[in-house]
Amino acid sequence: MCDRRLVRGEGAPEGVLRALEEDLDSDPKPHDDDEDSEDPTHRILHDSRLGNIGRLRVEPEPGGCVRRGRKLLRRACAIAVTAALAGSGCAGVGSESPAPPAAVATPLFWHAKAPAGGELYLLGSVHVRAADAPALGPEVAQAYARSDQLVVEIDASQITPEEVEAQTQRYAVLPPQLRLDALLEPETRELLARFVAAHGMSGEQVQRYKPWFASQMILMTELASAGYDAALGVDKDFVDQASGEKPIVGLETLASQFATLDGQTLAVQELMLRDVLLRGDSLVAYTGDLIDAWSRGDEAALENQIFQPADEAPELAAFYAAFFWRRNAAMTARLVELARDGRTRFVVLGAGHMLGEKGIPALLAQQGFVVERVNSGADARLPDAATAPR
């Protein structure tokens, strides 16, 4: 069962896939209507408007078979969590966040001045946090107050439940004649069945979805059990603040992020699902390490955690090209265009997009921006404003 791939069927609507496999379920049955399900995973999806689900972006892996990708399993855990926490952002919508604690984080924070005078404050974000996460330093609040607009990956304040349902149906739900189990190796099917039983989920609900989406559902279930919440994400916090106060600009859309996932090789999708099922404890530990490095503003540690898998496994190069490099280039182009009007903007993007020579600060510098890292913390100061606040 190597080189299994989900591809679009001829004449099928965009986002509807068929499997080119002879061993698919020989007695397919339509999915049950689960709109009113009390499945906890179903509630996570709809209460948070998909929160951090749908962040994993991958390119097809040559050769395809999950069994042939065993050496990638050591890296898949890091990729899954990086995708959810620091690589892409559709901020969750949930209950109000508690008051921030007294501790102060010193995250990745830059100031970039355009040749025409426009200013960008660039904050590297994590999209989920725990209730006891340290607050951001006062310089971050000052930069936000100084800015005319908030720029994020996706403006979640404009995402309606109807849009989430439509995009999920379009990109994440399998055709009625297919079940998730029919696309998985026996080992993965068994792991999935155990997880569903242990967490009191609806088996039929999970069976409706493609492997990439199921992997993110399970990841968010595990992180939620450990106290991590998309409602506490940094980007979510600023979107809430800006709603009704400042214009919000989204550089991407929910549909564009889901579209990148749709049609990826089944081999890579199953790799992600199986490793998330195998590594519950490791997922939580890795999440803690990643958020700790972010809180310290430790650029070197974040680069190592996020990008080391690409160095160790060349097979993942396409994943990083799709998930980081191409998106970084596209978002940089949008920021350059926005900055032409000379206004000041506060930009909150996943921390992974800010790192290294292909990160957005470095790409802006190549476009003639004057870019400097802002020291953050209790005693930090912003660069002098080029223009008065509006």
Residue 192 makes CB contacts below 8 A (sequence gap 6+) with 180, 181, 184, 206, 214, 273, 277
Ranges 105-114, 146-155, 222-231, 257-266: which has the least confidence: 257-266
Q: Give dist(CA 219, CA 45) in Å, integer.
A: 12
User: What pLDDT does residue 323 have?
Assistant: 82
Helix axis angle for 186-198 and 266-278, nearest 10°, is 40
In a 3-state reduction of DSSP, which class is residue 359?
Answer: coil
CA atoms 203, 205, 207, 210: torsion sign: negative
The residue-averaged pLDDT of 160-184 equals 94
Count helices and strands in the chain by DSSP H and E runs: 15, 12
Q: Give dist(CA 20, CA 318) in Å, integer.
A: 23
User: What pLDDT does residue 124 have?
Assistant: 95
Q: Quote the mean pLDDT of the chain.
A: 76
pLDDT digit string, tens, across residues 231-256: 888 999 999 999 989 999 999 999 88
* Beta carbons of 295 and 125 less than 8 angstroms apart: no
Q: Which residue has the tokens 């379009």?
A: 170
Q: Give dist(CA 210, CA 377) in Å, integer.
A: 43
Tell how strand 135-136 and strand 228-229 pair up.
unpaired
Q: Report how far apart, in Å, the C-alpha atoms of 91 and of each of 177, 230, 240, 253, 277 are.
A: 32, 7, 10, 12, 24
DSSP state of 37: -
Q: What is the CA radius of gyration of the chain?
A: 21
Global confidence as pTM? 0.76
Ranges 5-14, 76-85, 121-130, 162-171: which has the least confidence: 5-14
* Beta carbons of 36 and 296 less than 8 angstroms apart: no
**330, 354, 328, 316: which is closest to 62 by C-alpha?**
316
Identity of the residue numbered 220: M
Give the residue extent of every domain in the chain.
60-96+103-373
Percent of the chain with pLDDT over 70: 68
Q: Which residue has the tokens 């709603």?
A: 243
